Amino acid sequence: MLRQAAVLVTPAMGAAAPPGVAPGEFLLALAEDTYEIVAGLDLVEPVILDAGIPGLDDIAWPGTRVLPVAEPGGLAAAFAALRPYGEEAVVISGDAPDLPPLLIGKLFRELGRAPVAVCPAEDGGAVAVAARLPYPEWAAGTLDDADVVAGLRGRAPGRRMVATGPGWHRLRSPADVARLDPGLEGWDNTRALLHAT
């Protein structure tokens, strides 16, 4: 089975830059750390979904697809970009630089019983959404919808069409940087940028 793990990077993700850190540099650091998570997964093809951010080609490993998406945060547009390249995919928000890879694996496992699976974000929205391709028309929405799970379940044509995995956090405001655990491996680019200020 062809599986893809795609990091969706949007301009709004730079808004979480703490004082003294350039939003553009912060956005690229978050995106690169999140991409490094998916690039290290076994049996999954890493992808970057670019909503108009300069420099994303520079953080990708050779051979990684960097696909444009016209609708920042829109799930239907993100999964449509991935459709020609696989049978299952997960779209991960680019502002989750310390996301444990295990949570991505759990989403793919949930696709064995439901066509859509969600890793909810702690303060609303979703960290990641996985789906069998083609993406269901009823599953429109964004990673930033206030209650992604309730919205998807409300539009689903039947019960048990939307599974959930464990939740995690995203960095959406400067205060969210405090969520990063210095003892947790990874998020090297974000860590280096924060320590440089």
- Walk along the chain (197 residues) and give the pLDDT tens digit of each residue: 799 999 999 999 999 999 999 999 999 999 999 999 999 999 999 999 999 999 999 999 999 999 999 877 789 999 999 999 999 999 999 999 999 999 999 999 999 999 999 999 998 999 999 999 999 999 999 999 999 999 999 999 998 999 999 999 999 999 999 999 998 889 999 999 998 86
Closest CA to 168 of 78, 110, 90, 100: 100
DSSP track, 10-62: -GGGGGGPPTTS-HHHHHHHHHHHHHHHHHT-TT-EEEEEESS-TTHHHHSPT
3-state secondary structure of 5: strand
β-sheet with 3-9: strand ranges across: 65-68, 45-50, 3-9, 88-93, 126-132, 116-120, 162-164
18 touches 197 (CB < 8 A): yes
